Amino acid sequence: MPIAGVVILTREEMTSQVLNQLQNVENVTTYGVHKNNNIVAVFEGQTPKELERINDKLINEVPGILGIYPAYVNYEDVEEQND
């Protein structure tokens, strides 16, 4: 079950608009805007296919995104566990 931590680089003047839009996209969790125009986000899906769909959808449908850069991708099976 894949999870990807990504940095989304935005046009600076459109960053808050992008953030607002991302907050409504299913399976995307945002972790704030950093250093002016970098949004940290996590993409998650039931299958690996969904990660790509999210990436594609954002690039094509959210104006103001300059690039999406995965920094971490995990494919191991996700199980519940005690911490």
Partner 1 sequence: MTVSRREFLKTSAAATAAASIGVNLLPGMKNNLFAGQVEWHKSVCRYCGTGCGVMVGTKDGKVVAVKGDKENTINRGHLCVKAFYLPKAVNSKTRLKHAMIKKNGKFEKVTVDEALDFVAKKFNEIRQKHGANALAFYGSGQAETEETYMANKLWKGCIGTNNMEGNPRLCMASAVGGYLTSLGADEPAGTYQDIEQAKFFMLIGSNTAEAHPILFERIMRHKTKNPDVQILIIDPRKTPTDQVADLHLFPKPGYDLAILHAMAKIIIDEGYADEEFIKTSVIFKDNKNKIDYAGYKEFLKKYTPEYASQRSGVPAEDIIKAARMFGKAETAMSLWTMGINQRTRGVWANNLITNLHLLTGKIGKPGCDSFSLTGQPNACGGVREGGGLCHLLPGHRLVVKEKHRQQVAKVWGVPVERIQPKPGKHTVAMFEALNKGEIKGIYIMCTNPAQSLPNASKYWKGLEEQFVVVAESFFPTATTKYADVVLPSAFWTEKEGVYGCTERRSQYMPKVKDPEGDAVWDAFLLRDLGKKMGFVKEFEKYQTAQDIWDEYRGLTKGQDMDLWGATYDRLKKVRGLTWPVPSEDHPGTYKRYTDGDPIYDALPAEKKKGRRMYFYGPKAKDGYATIWARPDKGPEEPTDAEYPLALSTGRVMEHWHTGTMTMTAPELNRAVPKAYVEINPSDAKKMGINNKDQVVVETRRGSLEIEARVIDRPIPGTIFIPWHWEKWMANILTIDAFDPGSKEPEYKVCAARIKKA
The residues binding partner 1 (CB under 8 A) are 1, 3-7, 9, 12, 29, 31-32, 34-35, 37-38, 40-42, 44, 48-49, 51-53, 55-56, 66-76, 78-83
- In the complex, minimum distance from the CB of residue 44 to partner 1, in angstroms, rounded to a whole number: 7
**Contacts for 28 with CB less than 8 Å, ≥ 6 apart:** 22, 41, 42, 43, 54, 58
- In the complex, minimum distance from the CB of residue 4 to partner 1, in angstroms, rounded to a whole number: 6
Reduced to 3 states, what is the DSSP secondary structure of residue 44? Answer: strand
- In the complex, minimum distance from the CB of residue 40 to partner 1, in angstroms, rounded to a whole number: 5
Q: Beta 65-74 vs 38-44: how paired, if at all?
A: unpaired
